[in-house]
A and B are shown apart, each in its own frame.
Chain A
Amino acid sequence: MAQFGIDSYLYAKNSPVHRMNPTTKVVAVLAMVISVAIVKDIYMATFALLLSFLMILIAKLPIKFVARRIWSPFLFILIFAAALLLSGGEGEILWSIGFLDITKESAMDAALILIRATSAIIMLTVLLATTRFDMIVKVLYDLKMPVFLLQILMFSYRYIFVFSDELENMKNSMTSKGFRPTLSMRMFSSIANMLGMLLIKSFERGDDVYRSMVAKGYTGKPTIITKNKMHAKDYAFVSVAIVVALAIHIPALVQSGILNSWI
């Protein structure tokens, strides 16, 4: 189960971010993430990156933990930034490495994307490392996510841990019987049988789960018993977050001239 240990720091640490009302936290961070993900001004993106570092500090999360969490998505961001660096063939040439000409415009694009994508992912990591999953489900329910989707979300969450343990067991027993990964049809066939077995187990389990739920009075409507009521200071915090989220777009709007007709 270790590979899904996002909850591991939840109880270990106590910070203002951990204590914050979940709805407040989710709405505020979502507003920021959406805003940061589409910001066009590189200085504002840098400001957001600093803000995200500040969030790590306030939440008292170890840097090592955050770095490990964002490592693989960060690799993808790097690859995409590199692809963007190689795009836009025309313009002022900044560097010329061997056969490749890198233009100033594409370098700026790549830098902007690198910065804003990293800050978005750090903010999301801080949110998810300090909020329990059932709280997130409750917030999604309050935000009117359709019940049908929410139920699939809750059940899948539960069974991911069950099946990841089961797969681990199957993997261990295969290794102990002498299975070694080599690039051959035999390897593919063994792995396919293992994954097929996982699907079959899940199919059988699905039936059992449904019958036992009906026995417990399942009607298709969820009853969520966790409560979180928002107070005046929560509304104030959300408002500040939304204002900041909107404000970081002002420079780009001024630059594009949309705001000039107003001011």
Chain B
Amino acid sequence: MHISDGILPTWVLAAGWILTIILLVVSIAWSKKQVGNLTEKVPQAAVMTAALFVACMFRIPVPPTSLHLMLAGLAGIMLGPLAFVCIFISLLLQAILLQFGGITVLGVNSLLMGVPALCGYLVFMALSKTKSPSWLSGAVTSFIAVTITTILLGIIFYVSGVDFGSLGAMLDRVSGIPILSNIADVLQNTPGLLTFFMIFLMNIPLMLAEAVISAFILPFIEKVKPEMLEQYHLKQKN
């Protein structure tokens, strides 16, 4: 996600930075607890960050248009707790190199992608304990990651004053039609639901594309380079 500078209200930006700094400290400490010496992890994490950065830049052709992947779930699987740090760096690089995102919103953007990555790591860990096949765990992880991003994005838009109120007025006018009017009523009378609905609608293609791509990537990695997924102790197929 790249929300630009100058869009969100000040308190949202400040809250984003504070939470991001807390999560950076927590995830570095968490990672230190797992591997001991972090100096060894710097090159691997950085190189993986670069690869994920490039993979995100790649446009998946979905005729008639194309979309960018987010790969937050995959970042979580590959990098573990360091995923949050790497996503922070990757977003900083996007701001520096491509002017995607920005400086004041770096905190909010890191939360939007980093929190799903950390959740993705935990989900994949839990799923691989249940001995489910890697394609299924991968697809579920990525799907959940994009869903969490969508929910966070909905919350951030709603508290920033994007409530699609005019669309609500439009829904008023279709209230003659039986089923539609019930749906319109619910959408209008629950605060924030309209915002969620609109953002959810926009993100459905991304959710599906990410799930499908992950469902193919994980078995591929499992076949070609099983060491990469060593820590999850996936069931070995012979």
Contact = CB atoms under 8 A, between A and B. Distances in A.
A86 interface: yes
Given A200-B228, A210-B40, A213-B43, A195 B213 contact: yes
Interface string A85-104: 11111100000000111110
A193 B163 CA distance: 40
B43 A210 contact: yes
A128 B102 CA distance: 12
B10 A156 contact: no
Interface string A207-246: 1011001000011100000000000000000000000000
Nearest to B170: A99
A196 B99 contact: no
A76 B163 CA distance: 17
Interface stretch (A10-18, A55-63, A161-169): A161-169
A258 interface: no
B45 A192 contact: no
Interface string B1-26: 01111110110010000000000100
A100 B166 contact: yes
Contacts of B6: 36-38, 77, 113, 116-121
B43 A209 contact: yes
B165 A124 contact: no
Contact of B89 (A156, A206, A209): A156
Interface residues of B, number: 80
A108 to B, nearest CB: 12
Say what secondary structure dominates the interface of chain B. helix
Contacts of A205: 47
A79 to B, nearest CB: 9
Say what secondary structure dominates the interface of chain A. helix
A141 interface: no
B89 A149 contact: yes
A148 interface: yes
Contacts of B168: 89
A32 to B, nearest CB: 11
Given A196-B216, A196-B221, A77 B51 contact: no
Interface string A131-158: 0010010000000000011011111111
Interface residues of A, number: 89
A77 B4 contact: yes
A183 interface: yes
27 contacts: A30-B103, A33-B104, A73-B4, A73-B101, A80-B162, A84-B162, A89-B169, A100-B169, A117-B6, A117-B7, A121-B102, A124-B5, A128-B97, A149-B24, A149-B88, A152-B86, A152-B89, A155-B46, A160-B50, A160-B53, A160-B97, A182-B63, A195-B55, A195-B58, A198-B55, A205-B47, A206-B45
Given A37-B103, A151-B42, 19 more contacts: A6-B96, A36-B5, A37-B13, A77-B7, A83-B157, A88-B163, A99-B170, A99-B173, A100-B166, A113-B6, A151-B46, A153-B46, A156-B47, A156-B49, A159-B50, A193-B220, A196-B217, A198-B51, A210-B40
Interface of A: 3-4, 6, 30, 33-34, 36-38, 69-70, 72-73, 76-77, 80, 83-90, 99-103, 106, 109, 113, 116-121, 124-125, 128, 133, 136, 148-149, 151-160, 162-164, 166-167, 181-183, 185, 187-189, 191-193, 195-207, 209-210, 213, 218-220
Interface of B: 2-7, 9-10, 13, 24, 28, 38-40, 42-55, 57-58, 60-63, 74, 78, 85-86, 88-90, 92-93, 95-105, 157, 161-170, 173, 198, 209, 212-217, 220-221, 224-225, 227-228
What 9 pairs across the A-B complex have the smallest Cβ distances? A89-B165, A192-B216, A155-B46, A181-B61, A117-B6, A202-B51, A159-B50, A206-B44, A220-B39
